[in-house]
Chains A and B, each alone.
Chain A
């Protein structure tokens, strides 16, 4: 069974500092990986996705993620965060192998302090 582990439940950071949110996946076959963001009292929005090709994926709002097959990781990064980046971030492995069920990580709460 697939599993997605987000290694930090909460990441506090000061404004304009860099941040990395860590995600490890378990699948040993072709993977489809996503990062979603959930702002307070809203639904989930797609930040970026990795389907194939370049291992460095750029998304919206200055975020990027790097797919690392040998370490089964898909960490999310931003070089300089803003207060408005305060949100919950979910790493997701897309359904595969005949299943229609994606696998969600538990989420990482990014808290940006002024």
Chain B
């Protein structure tokens, strides 16, 4: 089925380790987003890419980097993981980003940093 695919689904890291969360969409969407979800905090935007070749910081970018590899793929990298980055991470995409196109979400990556 068409949609947003995130890998891995689960990950446990030790403090200081690095990893990359992968996200790919097959809907030819222009805009892509990375969110983290923590209990009682709703969804908080980490980074977004309005279109291929551009990336911008969101609300909580510290400790993360992103790469818009091509139109389909948008990865999130944790260079040196910290326990505060334990969270559920969601990737989303949108046809236009701005306007009434709506957003399609992946199923999430549950990350635990010990």
Chain A residues at the B interface, C-beta cutoff of 8 Å: 32, 34, 36, 41-46, 49, 51-52, 90, 92, 94-102, 104-107
Contact = CB atoms under 8 A, between A and B. Distances in A.
Interface in B77-102: 90, 92, 97-102
B104 to A, nearest CB: 8
Contact of A100 (B43, B48, B108): B48
A6 B22 CA distance: 31
Nearest to A4: B42
A100 B50 contact: yes
Interface in B13-64: 31, 40-43, 45, 48, 50, 56, 58
A43 B105 contact: yes
B107 interface: yes
Given A90-B43, A106-B42, A45 B105 contact: yes
Interface of B: 4, 31, 40-43, 45, 48, 50, 56, 58, 90, 92, 97-108
Contacts of B99: 32, 94-96
B103 to A, nearest CB: 6
Nearest to A95: B98
Contact of A104 (B43, B97, B104): B43
Contacts of B108: 41-43
B81 to A, nearest CB: 22
28 contacts: A32-B99, A34-B103, A36-B103, A36-B105, A41-B108, A42-B108, A43-B90, A43-B106, A43-B108, A44-B90, A44-B103, A44-B105, A45-B105, A46-B102, A46-B103, A49-B100, A52-B100, A90-B42, A94-B100, A94-B102, A95-B97, A96-B98, A96-B99, A97-B98, A100-B50, A100-B98, A101-B45, A104-B43
A105 B42 contact: yes
A104 B105 contact: no
B102 A34 contact: yes
A49 B102 contact: yes
